[in-house]
Amino acid sequence: MNKTAWARMRKHAAIPALGLGAALLLAIGASTYAMKDEAAFELNDLSGSREAIADAVISGELRDGYHSVHFHIENGKLRTETEVFRQPEFTYPYHYVPGADKRIDDTMFSVEGLGTFEILSLKPKLYNIYYVPDGKAIVTPTIHYGKDENGNIDLANPLEYGIAKNGDRVFFTVPVSSRSTGSSGIYELNFFHWADELFVNAQKQYPPRLIAELDLRANESAEQPNIEVLGLEAVGDKLVLISAANGELVIRSFDSGSGALLGEAALPNFQLQRPAAEAERSDGAIAYSSSYEAFSDSKLGILNLSFRGSRSRQLMLSADLADGVRIVNQVEADRSEEESQHLIDERSAIRYLNGKLYVIRAYKEARSSDPNDVNEIARPHRFYLYVYDQSKLAYKGELVTDQNDDYEDGTIADGDMRSRSYTNLAID
C-alpha cells in the first residue's frame, strides 16, 4: 500500500473516531443538563404561614466544583437557576471555626502571641484555595494576664475574635477574661509588609493607634463587676465592643475615627458558661458560650448576634446603632428537637428586617461527636428557615434538596469536587 492510500485510510478512519468523540461529549452534556433539570428543590412549610417571609428575599447557592444551583425565595415563592461551569472550579466555602484564622471580606487574619501580639493578614490565591502572607502589625497592650486553674493564660475567646475591619482599616482588641487586670484598648493597626520584618522596627515605625482605652481595674476585686471582653465587630464606621460584666451582656458603640463612645446597652440575665459547668448551671439557669456569631448589617446600621447556650438554647439579638445602642430584638430559641444529635459544618445567616428576625441554618447532622466515625460523610444535611415576629416564631420552613443523595454510595467526601455545600447565603 502506497503512502497516499494509507493517508487516505487514516483520514477516513478519523471520521468515525471524531463522531464517537462528539457523541460522548453530547452524552456528557445531555447528562449534565438532565441533572440540571432534575435538581430537586422544594420549600416545605413546617409551622406558621409562608406570608411571614413575604417581606424578604432569601437567596444562596448549593454548589460543587462543576455547577451551582442559585436559589431565590421571593414573595414566598421558590425559584432556582443552574449554572454549569465551563471549567471545573475548586469550591471551598468559608466557615469560621473558633481558634482558626478569621476571614473578613477578602482578607484572612491570624493572631499570635501573648503580651505582644502579631497580627498577620493574608490574601487569597488560586480560587481561594490558599492564602499568602501580606501584611503584619504589632500591638502591646499594658494588660496583666490572669491564669486559669491549670496555670494557663486565660482568655475569654480566641484572639481572632478581637479583629474587626472597616474598609482598609483594621482594628484589634484582646478578648480578655475577668482574670486580667490593667489597661487594654481598641487599636487601629498599622501594617507593614511581612517580608520586611527583619528590616523595620515595627513598634517605632509602625505603631498602632489607640482608639479607645478599656479600663480593667474592676477585675482586681473579687466582687462584681468583673469584665470579660468577648470580641470586637465593625458596623459601617462604628466599632462595637461585646463584653460581659455583672451578669449582663454589654454592647458599646465607638466612633472608629475619634474613639468617642457613642452609646451602650446591656442585656440582663446573661451568664457565661464555665468549663466546670458547660452543660448546666447549678441554679438551673441558661448559661451561654462566650463564643458567638456576628452578622454586621452596615446598610441598616444593625449588628445581629447569636450565642449558643446550655440545654440546646440559642440566644439571638439585634442592636440598632443608628443613635447610640438600642437592643431592638431578642429571641431565645429552643433547638432541642433539631439538635438531639451533634451538629457539624453549620452555616448561618441572621438579619433583622422590617421588624422581623430572619434566620437561616444549614448544617450536617452527626450521630456522634467522634471525629473518626466512618459513617460521618453519609449524615443528612439540613436547611432550615425561621422568621420571628415580636420574639415569637412566626414561620419555620425546610428547604429540601437532593443533596443527601450524593453521599449514599459513600464515594464522595467533604472537600471533593463533587461535594455540594451551601454558600453566599443572604437575606434582603
Q: What is the pLDDT of residues 54-109, one digit of tens each?
A: 999 999 999 888 889 999 999 999 999 999 999 888 777 778 888 899 999 999 99
Q: What is the percent of the chain where pLDDT is above 70?
A: 79
DSSP annotation of 127 reads T
Q: What confidence score (pLDDT) does residue 403 get?
A: 64
| φ, ψ at 304 (rounded to 5°) | -100, 130
The residue to which cell 460521618 is assigned: 376
Cell numbers given for 381: 444535611
Residue-level length of the chain: 428
Mark 138-150 as b/e (b = at least 16 C-beta within 10 Å).
bbebebebbeeee
Q: Are residues 107 and 250 in the same domain?
A: yes
Summarize the confidence of residues 377-406 as an average pLDDT. 84
Q: What angle do CA 182, 183, 186 make, to 5 degrees?
A: 150
Does 223 score more than 60 pLDDT?
Answer: yes
Mark 97-125 as b/e (b = at least 16 C-beta within 10 Å).
eeeebbbbeebbbbbeeeeebebbbbebe
Strands, DSSP E only, in 180-247?
181-188, 192-193, 209-215, 227-235, 238-245
Q: What confidence score (pLDDT) does residue 125 get?
A: 84
- Domain C-terminal end among 267, 290, 313: 290
Of the pLDDT bands very low, low, confident and very high (cuts 50, 70, 90), residue 19 is very low
Question: Does the residue 82 lie in any domain?
Answer: yes
Q: Are residues 265 and 348 in the same domain?
A: no
Of the pLDDT bands very low, low, confident and very high (cuts 50, 70, 90), residue 417 is confident
Of the pLDDT bands very low, low, confident and very high (cuts 50, 70, 90), residue 10 is very low
Question: Does the residue 310 lie in any domain?
Answer: no
Q: Are residues 109 and 249 in the same domain?
A: yes
Q: What confidence score (pLDDT) does residue 190 get?
A: 98
Question: Does the residue 22 lie in any domain?
Answer: no
Average pLDDT over the chain, rounded to whole? 84
348 CB-contact burial (10 Å; exposed 0-12 / middle 13-18 / buried 19+): middle
Q: Are residues 398 and 374 in the same domain?
A: yes
- Looking at the DSSP bridge assignments, the partners of residue 272 are 288
Question: Does the residue 107 lie in any domain?
Answer: yes
Q: Are residues 171 and 234 in the same domain?
A: yes
Question: Does the residue 21 lie in any domain?
Answer: no
Cell numbers given for 419: 461535594
Q: Are residues 60 and 109 in the same domain?
A: no
Q: 63 or 9: which carries more pLDDT confidence?
A: 63
The residue to which cell 493564660 is assigned: 153
Residue 72: domain span: 40-89+337-428
Which residues lie below 8 Å from residue 363, measured CB to CB, with a gap of 6+? 343, 344, 345, 346, 347, 381, 382
Of the pLDDT bands very low, low, confident and very high (cuts 50, 70, 90), residue 129 is confident
Rounded to the nearest 10 degrees, how much is the dihedral formed by the CA atoms of 129, 133, 135, 136?
120
Question: Does the residue 193 lie in any domain?
Answer: yes
Amino acid identity for residue 235 in this structure: V
Summarize the confidence of residues 140-147 as an average pLDDT. 92
Q: Are residues 371 and 420 in the same domain?
A: yes
* Segments in 165-273 forming alpha helices (H): 202-205
- Domain C-terminal end among 275, 290, 305: 290
Q: Are residues 227 and 112 in the same domain?
A: yes
Summarize the confidence of residues 185-200 as an average pLDDT. 94
Question: Does the residue 15 lie in any domain?
Answer: no
Q: What is the pTM (predicted TM-score) of this model?
A: 0.84
Of the pLDDT bands very low, low, confident and very high (cuts 50, 70, 90), residue 370 is low
Of the pLDDT bands very low, low, confident and very high (cuts 50, 70, 90), residue 374 is low
- If one counts the domains in the chain, the total is 2
Q: What confidence score (pLDDT) does residue 140 get?
A: 95
Of the pLDDT bands very low, low, confident and very high (cuts 50, 70, 90), residue 355 is very high
Summarize the confidence of residues 110-138 as an average pLDDT. 90
Which residues lie below 8 Å from residue 110, measured CB to CB, with a gap of 6+? 101, 119, 120, 122, 160
Q: What confidence score (pLDDT) does residue 391 get?
A: 94
Alpha-carbon gap, residue 19 to 24, rounded angstroms: 9
Among the residue ranges 261-275, 305-319, 350-364, 401-415, the one predicted with the least confidence is 401-415
DSSP annotation of 269 reads S
Residues 35/420, Cβ–Cβ less than 8 Å = no
Alpha-carbon gap, residue 172 to 160, rounded angstroms: 9
Give the 3-state secondary structure of residue 196.
helix
Q: What confidence score (pLDDT) does residue 344 get?
A: 57
Q: Are residues 230 and 354 in the same domain?
A: no
Mark 13-24 as b/e (b = at least 16 C-beta within 10 Å).
eeeeeeeeeeee
Q: Are residues 217 and 84 in the same domain?
A: no
Does 7 score more than 50 pLDDT?
Answer: no
Question: Does the residue 359 lie in any domain?
Answer: yes
Does 144 score more than 80 pLDDT?
Answer: yes
Q: Are residues 386 and 422 in the same domain?
A: yes
Q: What confidence score (pLDDT) does residue 37 get?
A: 46
pLDDT tens digits along 279-328: 455 555 789 999 999 999 999 999 999 999 887 889 999 999 999 999 99
Does 333 score more than 70 pLDDT?
Answer: yes
Q: Are residues 76 and 180 in the same domain?
A: no
